[in-house]
Amino acid sequence: MSYLESHIADTAKVVHNGHIISAMPPRYSSAVRARDQDRTDTCSALDEGLADGQLSDAEHATRIASAMIATTLQELHALVDDLQGDNDLAPIREQRPVRDYSTLIAVVVGAAILLVGGGLAFRSCGGPDSPAESFGKIGYLTPAGLTDVVAATKKEFGNGIVDDMTVYPNYAVIFRPDPGAPRRQLVYRYDEDGFADPSTSSRDPKEPPVDLTQLDVAKTAGVIAGAGQSLNLPQIDTIYIVVRSSDDGPELVLHANNDRNENGYLTADLQGNFRSVTRFDPEN
């Protein structure tokens, strides 16, 4: 193969009469290091696999645990390449496998057991019919839980427009502009009993609202699932997200901490693309 042919193959570009008429994303070496965004994309694909019945709860938990500690793109591809459907994980060049999926399971079996039993090592004490009972240990922060909150908001109010949405494992708080008073907002708590009667608070009428229907639930759940890895927190006791407007447009903010006084937070857009990550630093 000539240098030109090799170059074209590597970049997946189609050339006609000396002009590039189309281009596909480059395929990376399988040894390329995985980014937080790659782990998030993998978790999103696994969540979709669980949602459409390709994965059992146990398989999903095991693979999520594997994704959270994966270091290369090859390891992440081993977790999703047998699933139907598209995913956003960066493609890699085909080669003979160096490490198979069974090896990954063996490495993370302890982490998988922790994830199944504790859900991100988050301690939940929800009772019967609680969000934790319905959706898993992290309740409304799971794909099904987030979907429930967004759908309930749209059904209750006719749209997904909010000033702010804060979601905890066991409940969510929805802040909506008061239609009759632009400087006031109505604050609703949502849990297994539905929406409670609202309280009121002040609001900045210049602050643009956010449309929750624009939130990519699968990608958001992937960000949440990878929070421990992203924030350098092997144990998480408290975790919640905020969806709000910012100078850069609508954003997702995730906060997490534990009883060791370790904490971190990150921001992303509503499609799950990271904007900033503030990891726990044991030296600071």
Looking at residues 267-274, what average pLDDT do you find?
A: 95
Looking at residues 257-275, what average pLDDT do you find?
A: 94
List, for residues 51-60, the tens digit of each pLDDT value.
888 988 777 7
Q: How many helices (H) and strands (E) does the chain have?
A: 9, 13
pTM of the model: 0.60
Residue 149 pLDDT exceeds 50: yes
**Which tokens is 179 given?**
């239609």
Domain limits, the chain: 36-118, 129-284
Coil/strand/helix, residue 18 = coil
Place of tokens 């600071």: 284
Average pLDDT, the chain: 78
Of residues 86 and 264, the one with the higher pLDDT is 264
Q: What pLDDT sits at residue 10? A: 41
Distances (CA, A) of 164 to 108, 145, 174, 271: 37, 17, 6, 17
